[in-house]
């Protein structure tokens, strides 16, 4: 720890913390901070905003969730606006996620919310994945989806699957951090809108992370973990793991 204790930082409009004394939307964001091993100041507020790193004392500027603040005099309506078209589902998975997170819409900075449009071709799959920083609530706009999530390890050694077939207008929740999926089981295309309780919920696509990492995980590890032979692991690791996000 350095000379500072947890400090209250006045937020600069929706664009986060520009300095400790900057005017804002009238609310305070409490940021706890510490110094990392490289003597950078690291700020955190809550689970909705990932750890953020600011350059020490550089013009009193901090990153908020990795995003710079914008001078409030330069903010325009376009900073809060985004248009989303249907995603191209011509790929191995037959699905496409079009995120609207703080990475695409800077006006979301510090607000703890984002969304995604998910397009599905017939039998298109949004494969099992995790959002490490956000709960997801999804509504089906078009088509029929078989969705589900699996709980974390339970005392009895089980992981429970909660699954449902959703039709147009149906809503389902995927709790933060749990593996979940959506499969288009209808005859036509399907469209879903997902809202996420983070400006930057993050995505870990399980198959991609396990079999498509760079560099690859040792096949000894994966063969034992998945209870299959190394040749099968090697085969899987040689596949192209398409990222539909």
CB 130, min distance to Mn ion, A: 8
- Binding flag, residue 119, Mn ion (CB under 5 A): no
User: How many angstroms from the chain centroid is the CA of residue 21?
Assistant: 30
CB 25, min distance to Mn ion, A: 29
Reduce the DSSP state of residue 242 to 3 states and report it. coil
Q: How many residues bind Mn ion (CB under 5 A)?
A: 1
The binding track of 125-144 with respect to Mn ion, each residue x by CB under 5 A or -, is -----------x--------
Query: Tokens 């298109």 correspond to what residue?
Result: 124
Which is closer to Mn ion, CB of 69 or CB of 147? 147
CB 52, min distance to Mn ion, A: 23
What is residue 231's DSSP assignment? H
CB 136, min distance to Mn ion, A: 5
Q: Is 58 exposed, middle or buried (0-12, 13-18, 19+ CB in 10 A)?
A: exposed
Which is closer to Mn ion, CB of 54 or CB of 179? 179
Look at residues 186, 205, 202, 92 and name the one whose alpha carbon lies nearest to residue 142: 186
Residue nearest to Mn ion (CB): 136
**Contacts for 209 with CB less than 8 Å, ≥ 6 apart:** none
Residues that bind Mn ion (CB under 5 A): 136
């Amino acid at each position: 720890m350095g000379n500072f204790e947890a400090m209250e930082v006045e937020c600069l409009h929706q664009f986060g913390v520009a300095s400790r004394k900057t005017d804002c939307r009238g609310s305070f964001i409490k940021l706890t901070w510490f110094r990392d091993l490289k003597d950078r100041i690291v700020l955190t507020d809550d689970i909705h905003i990932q750890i953020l790193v600011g350059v020490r004392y550089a013009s009193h500027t901090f990153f908020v969730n990795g995003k710079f603040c914008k001078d409030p005099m330069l903010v325009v309506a376009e900073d809060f606006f985004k248009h989303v078209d249907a995603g191209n589902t011509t790929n191995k998975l037959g699905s496409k996620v079009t995120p609207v997170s703080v990475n695409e819409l800077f006006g979301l900075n510090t607000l703890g919310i984002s969304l995604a449009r998910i397009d599905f071709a017939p039998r298109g799959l949004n494969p099992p994945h995790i959002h490490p920083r956000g709960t997801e609530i999804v509504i089906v706009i078009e088509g029929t989806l078989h969705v589900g999530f699996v709980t974390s390890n339970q005392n009895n050694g089980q992981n429970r699957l909660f699954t449902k077939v959703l039709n147009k207008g149906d809503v389902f929740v995927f709790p933060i951090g749990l593996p979940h999926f959506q499969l288009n089981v209808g005859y036509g295309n399907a469209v879903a809108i997902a809202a996420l309780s983070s400006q930057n919920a993050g995505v870990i696509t399980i198959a991609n992370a396990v079999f498509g990492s760079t560099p690859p995980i040792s096949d000894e590890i994966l063969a034992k973990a998945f209870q299959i032979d190394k040749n099968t692991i090697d085969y899987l690791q040689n596949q192209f793991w398409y990222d539909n996000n």
